[in-house]
Amino acid sequence: MIDFKDKVVIVTGGSSGIGKEVAREFLRNGARITISGRNEIQLQQAAQELMMSGGEVLAVSGDVSNERDCIRLINETLNRYGRIDVLVNNAGISMRALFSEVNLDVIRQVMDINFWGTVYCTKYALPSLLKNKGVVVGISSIAGIKGLPARSGYSASKFAMHGFLEALRIENLYTGLHVLICYPGFTASNIRNTALNKEGKAQGESPRNEEKMMQPNEVARELVKAVAKRKRTLILTTQGKLTAWINKFFPGWLDRQVYKHLATEPDSPLK
C-alpha cells in the first residue's frame, strides 16, 4: 500500500478504461477521488462501482474541451474536499484516417479534448496544486514519442501535451509542483472503439486484439507508484520502451517498421 490518505485526486475520463482503474487504485491507497466524463449515466455507474470498494468518490459530468466544464470540475472538487493534490489528465480521444482524407474538424476535436482539456484543467487546478506541492499527470501515448501514420491528429495532440507539461515542469522547478508524463503504449481500452474516422464518426470497433494488450489495472498500479515516487516519465509495455529507445538512434528504420506494423491492422487506411 502507498499512503495517499486524505489526498485528493482528480481523474478526467474516469468513467472507463485507464481512468476508472487509476481512480480505483488511488482509492485503494486512501485517496479521495473526483472522476469526470461526458456520459452522465456511465459516469454515475462508475462512481457507484468505485464506492462499493470503499472510499469517497465525487462524479462531475462534463466535457474537458469545454473550458466552463473544466472550471466547474475544479470548483466542485474544491467545494467538496477543500484541496487538490493530484490531477490526472486522462480524458482523450483518438482518430484513424489519412491526413489527405480527414476532415479538419476531426483534428480540431482531438486537439480540443486531448490538448486543451489538459490545459484547462491544469490551469484552474494549479493554485491548489501549488499550495499543496501536488502532482500534475498527463496520460500521453507512444504516439506522443513517435508520430503514428493515420493518427496525425492524435499524435499532434500528444506531442502538444508533452511540450506543455515539460514547459510547466521547468517553470515550477522551485515551487514544489511535480509533473509526470505517462506513455502507456498499446493498452486495452475504449479509446480505439471511439476513435474518429475521416468523417468524425466513431469507428465502433477496435482494429487491434485488446486481450493481448496491457490491461488498464496494470497501467493504474504503475502510474500510482510513479506518482508516489514523483517520477518524471513513465513508459509502459516492452513495445513502448523499445519504440522510445530505437527512435533516438534509428528513426528512419523505425519509420518503416511503424508503417508496416500499422498497415497490417484490419481496414487500415494505409492499405
Residue 235 CA, distance from chain mean position:
13
> What CA–CA distance (Å, rounded) separates 137 from 62?
19
Residues near 50 by Cβ (< 8 Å), separated by ≥ 6? 20, 23, 24, 27, 33, 35, 57
The single residue listed with the C-alpha cell 499550495 is 131
Catalytic residue among 154, 174, 183, 259: 154
> What CA–CA distance (Å, rounded) separates 138 from 75?
20
Helix (H) or strand (E) holding 37: strand 32-37
The Cβ of residue 26 has, within 10 Å, a number of other Cβ atoms equal to 28
124 an active-site residue? no
> What CA–CA distance (Å, rounded) separates 103 from 100?
9
Residues near 58 by Cβ (< 8 Å), separated by ≥ 6? 32, 33, 34, 35, 47, 76, 77, 80, 81
Helix (H) or strand (E) holding 168: helix 152-171
Q: Which residues are catalytic?
A: 154
